[in-house]
Amino acid sequence: MNIEEQVIAFSLENPHLATGTNEYQCAAS
């Protein structure tokens, strides 16, 4: 599992903590 997948999985599992990960999600998608 790469970093981008980890970030997405984390953001999906922790939506209340994921407000700062939108940039990474956009880059990974």
HSE-up (13 A, CA, CB side) for residue 6: 3
Question: Which among 23, 29, 25, 26 is positioned nearest to 8, based on CA atoms?
Answer: 25
Cα–Cα separations (whole angstroms), residue 16 to 1, 2, 28: 23, 22, 20
12 vs 28, more confident:
12
Amino acid at 14: N
pLDDT in tens, 13-25: 887 665 655 665 5
pTM recorded for the entire structure: 0.44
